[in-house]
Amino acid sequence: MTPLSHRLAIILICLCLRTGLAAQQPVPSTAQHQNDLTNAIKTINDPAKAAVYADSLLRIARQRRDGAWEAEIELAMAYKSYQAGDRAEALRYGRQSFAHAAVRDSVTYVKAGLMVAYMLNYQGAADQGLKMAFRMLRTADSRNWTKMEVDARLCVADIYRSLDQPAKALPYAQEAAVAALSARDTASYIFALSTVSNIHSHRGMSNAANLQKATRSMEVILNPPFASFLSPFERSRYLSNLGRLYEMQNRFQAAEKVLLESVSLTAKHNFPAIQKHALNELMTLKISTGKYREAVGYGLQALGLLSRGQSSQTLQRNIYRRLSEAYLAMGDYKNAYGYTQKANAIHDSLTSVEKTRAANELDARFRADKKVLEANNRSLLLRHERNLTIFAAVTVLMVVFTVYGLFLYRRRKQAAILALENEQLARLDRLKSMFFTNISHELRTPLTLIMSPAEQLRREGSGMSTDERANAAELIWRNSRKLLDVINELLDLSKLETGKLRLRNEPLNLHAFIGLTFGNFSSAARYKRMNYVLDKSIPETLWVIADRDKLEKVMNNLLSNAIKFSPAGGSVRMSAVVDSGELKISVQDTGPGIHPDEQGKVFDRFYQVDRPDAAGGTGIGLAIVKEFSELMGGSLELHSEAGQGTEFRLSLPLVIAEAPVSTAAQPAAPLPADMPLPAGQDRKILLVEDQADMSAYVKQVLDSHYEVVQAIDGEDALSRLAGMPEPPDLILSDVMMTGMDGYSLLQRLKADPVYCHIPFVMLTAQADVHQKVRALQAGVHDYLTKPFISGELLARVNNLLENSAARKLAASEAGELPAADRMPMLSPADLAWLERLENLVRGQIGRTDLLITELSYDMNLSERQMHRRVKAVTGLTPNKYIRTIRLRVAREAIDSGRYRTLAEIAQVAGFDTPAYFARLFRGAYGRDVHDLL
């Protein structure tokens, strides 16, 4: 019998005798004596003998009903089982110890709870282990148990590390190290240093700098003065960790030395758990150095130890992986494949999403509880301080200052509120003005395309063919619908604001509906020569329950905006797919994109992008689209980059419906074909208009009389001018266009000596006086406001062409155009002289007896010189020129809205009789003056 066995037998005999006599006489007992008996468990190397000894102690503790001692004995057996590699027994003893320990037994209570947490983590139940660790941390933190708080933080850090979350683990370990150092707790400080080292070397943080930190920490632990505090178990474990760190830095010789020392120490003291880790590291080292057979030998030794008690799933996975790698290098593919399968099975169970989610919830809950606790402590402290202040410092002077401070505060607050209200009112006023301006523009364009064709159809003997009448009727119908759409947008906006808008769901064939809606914009895309593409992945037989009207409005708005803001020759692509019970629609364009500063505002009501190429609109379209999308239970997202185009992504939930008995999709109506040019035309007009219907209509009106060349914006107009052998006789241009607008085009032409003389007519829906003044100052020859009718357009064009021809003839007769058939160029002096003359005439416009003699005198010319100069500059006689100015003044008076009768207008413009004025007005503008009053 060995000395240890002999000593154990004596202890057991004594315990049995004491147990038998316990009921007959009291046995003196002290806490120190109980500790000595409990600590004896640590000296027994054989786990089975240690269990027998512990059971005898437990019987005595239970007879005495000493729960605290019982918990200490079970905790000691938990540590013993863990050292022996039996983690299942360690968990069982830990749970028993925790159940018997009371909170007042701080060390046993917390350490037993932490033992349970560690063992649950090792067995793959990391979420439960982390929950227990945070419970112990809250308990220690709330009772200011510094040493136990350090242990709990280290446990939390270790579990986070095993969950591959080193960034969360590191703060807990560092806090524990600082607290242990402050408390001069050497054992806890050593443990904290080792945990920090393990985290720094974790694969999620193992860069060169962190590996050096981890190595320094472990070398500090294994050298004096801390080495003397280490038990054989701790030294063997830290040697194994240091070997792993050396190996990660390719210091293989140093790594092998410390790992062999760890294996020797663990074998001597029977620490299989640490021995398995050290063997695993030796196997890894041998693989790294190409010694695969030695690696397999170490791996098989480690596998032999796996059966001795419970092993970490992470360790088992790593051993399997290394063995698979070694066998693969040796060409033993069967064993390599088998160990790979085993490693993958364990890896899947370790990386479950549920564990990570539970860990995050526990971490957040602990931090929230800690904040509440700190807030309560601060609240108590502040309450005491306030009470002391109230009793010590309440004086009349403080009351006066307090009242005065409140008075100032209220005044500043009221001023701030007033300033905010003023700013909001100003913003609302700006938005309101912008809204009404935009609404005016949106209404005038379709009104023009309704009134003008209707006026043509109403006239007798207009000479329109059957096809022309059909096209005019179609144009009226299409633009009437546009007007209705604008009105419906306003009504929808009102209903959305009052919460009265409801969905009107009905069965809908999604495949046919999307194709039909997309096809409605094909003609507009062709007009701008765009690449217009639909990618559709929707079953043809799919029927859903949806609000057809609102879904159509959403898609129409997105497609219309994409075509409107994309340049000619650009691209618009729409994709529609059904995925996971949702309809996902994407509309992409190649337009100018939206600046990041404006992307957050595009869905605001009445907001419009502030840029020179903005193409009008009410500013409520995208706002309604966004709210319709949300009303249907979906979402609308914007993705845009300045200069790269814009993409809108619409997602809507789908409710599947049964298909009706029969359905029929109506095809989109095509745009009317361009009318052929009649023969014999000798005057050419360049028409610049980006709106397809308006361009087609104006071309139809002018085609019977002139040759019309169409352009879709200013850039296109300049390109077509450059390709013409002779300049056009007149240019008709819209003001608001995507790309280069009408004003920019006019400035470019005025700066070019070849084109600066060409008569220029503005077509616009902006009817305010400021816009007219701006156009006239820019140098336009006439200004035609939408809505207009065909007769007015023809009269204006004819008058300008006649005046231009007369000017050309006058210049030729004067010898200024001897050879070339070109328009005379007006010098800046001519323009200034003409402006002075017009101002002089306008100053006396109300006089019906205005004489050429008086004007000649005021212009410092003879009557004959006056006649020749006016004829050369304007192509008109002085009398016709004065009459033209009178008609212009009359039209401005009518547009101002201040005059209601024909007689008033005639008097303001200086005409002798209303009848004479009405006849001249109709000849100049092609409209009856009574229609405008």
**Chain segment 219-239, per-residue pLDDT in tens:** 888 888 888 888 888 888 888
Task: Identify the CA nearest to 430 among candidates 606, 282, 597.
Answer: 606
- Tokens at residue 438, please? 């935009």
- Tokens at residue 762, please? 């503005």
Ranges in the chain, pLDDT < 50? 1-29, 353, 461, 612-617, 662-680, 816-824
Alpha carbons 55 and 30: distance in angstroms, whole number: 20
Q: How many domains does the chain have?
A: 5
Domain end (from 771, 799, 819): 819
Assess whether 66 and 20 both reside in one domain. yes
Residue 912 DSSP SS3 = coil
Task: Identify the CA nearest to 586 among candidates 555, 561, 563.
Answer: 555
Domain membership of residue 475 (yes or no) is: no
Output the CA–CA distances (angstroms, integers) from residue 186 to 183, 189, 213, 395, 560, in the order listed: 9, 5, 20, 55, 75
Assess whether 3 and 61 both reside in one domain. yes
Domain end (from 350, 384, 418): 350
Residues 793/784, Cβ–Cβ less than 8 Å? yes
DSSP 820: -
H helix runs in 163-291, sequence order: 166-182, 186-200, 208-221, 232-248, 252-269, 272-288
Domain membership of residue 773 (yes or no) is: yes
Alpha carbons 915 and 919: distance in angstroms, whole number: 6
Alpha carbons 204 and 488: distance in angstroms, whole number: 59
Count how many Cα atoms sit within 13 Å of the Cα of residue 870 in the half-sphere of its side chain: 23
Bridge partners for 564 per DSSP: none
Domain membership of residue 83 (yes or no) is: yes
* pLDDT the model gives residue 730: 93
Assess whether 247 and 343 both reside in one domain. yes
* pLDDT the model gives residue 855: 86
Residues 180/188, Cβ–Cβ less than 8 Å? yes
225 prior amide bond cis, ω within 30: yes
Assess whether 694 and 777 both reside in one domain. yes
Instruction: Please name the residue that has the structure tokens 């352009």.
Output: 711
Domain end (from 602, 628, 657): 657
* pLDDT the model gives residue 20: 43
* pLDDT the model gives residue 824: 47
H helix runs in 289-352, sequence order: 292-306, 313-330, 333-350
Output the CA–CA distances (angstroms, integers) from residue 262 to 190, 257, 276, 285, 841, in the order listed: 18, 9, 10, 14, 113
Residues 515/532, Cβ–Cβ less than 8 Å? no
Output the CA–CA distances (angstroms, integers) from residue 423 to 416, 420, 427, in the order listed: 11, 5, 6
Output the CA–CA distances (angstroms, integers) from residue 21 to 9, 31, 37, in the order listed: 19, 20, 18
CATH number at residue 911: 1.10.10.60
Exposure string for 296-335, b = 16+ CB within 10 A, e = fewer: bbbbebbbebbebbbbbbbbbbbbbbbbbbbbbeeebeee
- Tokens at residue 287, please? 């693989």
Domain membership of residue 387 (yes or no) is: no
- Tokens at residue 21, please? 């006599």
Domain membership of residue 435 (yes or no) is: no
Q: Tell me which amino acid residue 200 is.
A: H
The sheet with strand 506-509 has its strands ordered as 506-509, 543-546, 656-657
CATH number at residue 535: 3.30.565.10
Residues 57/73, Cβ–Cβ less than 8 Å? yes
Domain membership of residue 456 (yes or no) is: no
Instruction: Please name the residue that has the structure tokens 């063919």.
Output: 465
Domain membership of residue 880 (yes or no) is: yes
Assess whether 775 and 846 both reside in one domain. no
* pLDDT the model gives residue 861: 86
Assess whether 842 and 919 both reside in one domain. yes
Assess whether 712 and 619 both reside in one domain. no
Assess whether 798 and 845 both reside in one domain. no
Assess whether 636 and 535 both reside in one domain. yes
Assess whether 648 and 569 both reside in one domain. yes
Domain membership of residue 679 (yes or no) is: yes
Domain of residue 4 covers 1-123
Assess whether 73 and 55 both reside in one domain. yes
Assess whether 519 and 642 both reside in one domain. yes
CATH number at residue 689: 3.40.50.2300
